[in-house]
A and B are shown apart, each in its own frame.
Chain A
Amino acid sequence: MGVEQKLGNMGVVTTRLEQLVNWSRTNAMWPMLFGLACCAIEMMAAQAANYDMSRFGMELMRASPRQSDLMIVAGRVSRKMGPVLRRLYDQMPYPKWVIAMGDCASCGGVFNNYAIFQGVDEIVPVDVYVAGCPPRPEGLIHGVLTLHDKVNHEKLSKWA
């Protein structure tokens, strides 16, 4: 959503640009501090010394949705939280991605009841689902890398 609309189809140049931009987006993907429940603890563990997501340039957890690229929905989303989550998602600037971390965020998990959204994909579009209750930090990192893979295959025409 930046300058790319104006570039149009410029063949090799745009392909190179596409690679460069995708590379930069994967390497500087700042997640939003969005811990909800149990998975947030494992997300913190993934940030911490043993797993160290900062290797991928992801330690700059932004508290403000305006400055984040990636929303890791770590935990169950209740009916009360859902609208808040959507508002935060709307406040994030494009391009933005969502990882549904854990079973609760992916599909409701064990909480199949009135209070919990049966998967955060009912509220926001999800790019990567990470299974586990809660997923191990390795699982989250794998999810992030899967997302990187996905971003790396994004086409310039899709950006705008």
Chain B
Amino acid sequence: MLVVFFILAFVAVGTAVSMLVTRSSIYAALFLVLNFATVAVLYLILGAPFIALTQITVYAGSVVVLFLFVIMLLGAERLPGGESLKWQRLVAIGLAIVLSADFGVKMIGENTMLTSVTAPPEGYGAPAEIGKILFTKYAFPVEITAVILLVAVVGAILLAKPDEKPSVREGLRKKMDQEG
């Protein structure tokens, strides 16, 4: 189990680093997918099959595909990477180190109260269980999320819609008619 975890952790960190290092947006998106997939496997190990498969469906199946779609649509495969200001980079790395150190200290300090993960008990994380709690205890958040999604969809449509004439096609036809 531990071996599996280390392999997965290695892959997850590796893909995350590669995502940051690569200069091609397409490759970055693909590394992100791999990262999500490894994390999904971790979820499976942690007894959350529902969340794991939702993760793959939502993140790998829709979110990153959208990313890829937009990259291809814009033709933005190769754009400048992290060539930003020198001090900004140094500060960022410094902050990262501080954050990691903070985490490490906390982790070592309070390790005792956390248990180890073993095989999950029967029925833990089953869809029925999640569904029950989702629609009773968390019914209100579900509604709010639904509204957020709706707003997002409407907003996305409004944003992506070409603002001028009804459509490019109509405009072209009109222009053609004028020219005769």
Q: State yes or no: do A and B touch (Cβ within 8 Å).
A: no
Q: B residues touching A (Cβ–Cβ < 8 Å)?
A: none
